[in-house]
Structure 1
Amino acid sequence: MSNPTRIILFAGGNLGDWALEEVEAGDCLVGVDRGALFLIRHGLRPRLSIGDFDSVTPEEWAEISAHSEEVRSCDPVLKDMTDTEMGFVWALDQGAQEIVLTGALGSRFDHTLANVHLLWKGLRSGVRCRIVDAANDIMLVDRELTLGPSRCPHISLLPLTPEVTGITLSGFQYPLEHATLRLGDTLGISNVLTADSGTISVASGCLLVIRSKD
């Protein structure tokens, strides 16, 4: 397989029709654990299904095995990475220019937070990464990011590193000029664009950019 431009991971968290709307022609689809079953039952064939598959029945496992191009399974106990990280690392190894994670947010806050931290792994590898669910679109920036129109109008900025310096916003209702945000600061919550596009620039540190629908 030639290197895909964009890989979408369907993990085992919250999924719905909104996730299918992310799929475009040419995307490489990866099913992570139960996310593989979601893809298959919506008529999509995963390029890879990966995980320990401890959340599926034997019948569902047979369905995943029969309808995936490739399956990689592991022991649910003797492993050092979550299923989602395994899928994410595989995606990085393929040389994709962009990775989108769906089903990465859910009721398990530990898994949710760990998946947000995967954005840092992508940033260090120079790969554009997003986490998307029905109401949020999450990215990480350490230099500059331009935002355009979105179904998620509210934009919040939170430091992922202890301190983020030199934060400058243009095109926003509440602009910032060389500001600093530290862990625990809420200054960056709930901003909105006032122009067709807005720019976020950062001098040092890593800044979570969370676009929310409600």
Structure 2
Amino acid sequence: MTTKPAKIILFAGGRLGSWALEEIEENDCLIGVDRGALFLLQHGKRPHLAIGDFDSVTREERELIRQNSEGMLTCDPVMKDLTDTEMGLRWALERRPAEIVLTGALGSRFDHALANVHLLAKALEAGVPCRIVDETNQIMLVEGHATIRRSRFSHVSLLPLTEKVTGITLTGFQYPLNNATLQTGDTLGISNVLLGETGTISVESGRLIAVQSSDESPFDA
């Protein structure tokens, strides 16, 4: 792309559907991570970059991706130290966009899903807003202060990413907290609800995983 993108969306090789396409806005930079690049092409979207080892596509599909992407970065499927998604995220962070969205980051592989949630810490440390989205969840990290906005996700849950999170104060929620502490294993922060259009989360120390979720998807699979 010739100009710095306001938003970079990564389409990874996990669970994808029409909900992922709803995230796309004009001038977004679209990154196809491994099989995520094929998903974009199958839905009429040209990846600005295809990245990964492409071990989850056929030789013919890989060639299709190569011919129809603006750029392509490949690596050996065995001799590598990073997952494809981390490779894509690092590339995106180097561009310093206003926001990064990870789609296809959740799926049947819990190890990959958990690793991708932990990848949000890299974006937090780089000062780039980043969230994971699928059909029934939106996940972000909170350190210091964050505003949660009403959306298609009806519930908000908070879980500690660090061993202990202190000074948690919630305003605008059905179940408020004032200077609370959450430790690994605590479930106090599960299934809260916004009272209005926004709610605020303040944290004195530590990092929270904020999960906005809904029980059913409004999208087709």
TM-score, length-scaled by structure 1:
0.99
What is the match of residue 107 of structure 1? 108
Which runs of structure 2 are paired with 1:2-21 in the superposition (5 Å)? 2-21=3-22
Which runs of structure 2 are paired with 1:19-168 in the superposition (5 Å)? 19-168=20-169
CA RMSD of aligned residues (A): 0.6
Structure 2: runs of 5 or more not aligned: 216-221
1:149 shift after superposition: 1.4
1:196 aligns with 2:210: no
Q: Structure 1 segments of 4 or more deviating over 2 A?
A: none
1:64-123 deviation per Cα after TM superposition (whole angstroms, max 9, x unaligned): 001100000100000010000000000000111110000000111110000000110000
2: distance between equivalents of 1:40 and 1:52?
A: 17
Say whether the 8 Å CA contact 2:153–2:213 is kept in structure 1: yes
Structure 1: runs of 5 or more not aligned: none
1: distance between equivalents of 2:74 and 2:138?
A: 29
Amino acid at match of 1:164: V
2: distance between equivalents of 1:193 and 1:23?
A: 26
2: distance between equivalents of 1:95 and 1:139?
A: 18
1:2 shift after superposition: 2.4
More deviation, 144-153/47-56: 144-153
- 2:51 is paired with a residue of what secondary structure? strand
- 1:87 is paired with a residue of what secondary structure? helix
Amino acid at match of 1:141: V
1: distance between equivalents of 2:141 and 2:201?
A: 11
State percent identity of aligned pairs.
66
Which runs of structure 2 are paired with 1:200-211 in the superposition (5 Å)? 200-211=201-212
1:102-155 deviation per Cα after TM superposition (whole angstroms, max 9, x unaligned): 000011111000000011000000000000000000010101111121100100
What is the match of residue 182 of structure 2? 181
2: distance between equivalents of 1:59 and 1:199?
A: 49
1: distance between equivalents of 2:135 and 2:157?
A: 17
1:45 shift after superposition: 0.7
1:191-212 deviation per Cα after TM superposition (whole angstroms, max 9, x unaligned): 0011221000111100000000
TM-score, length-scaled by structure 2:
0.96
What is the match of residue 218 of structure 2? none
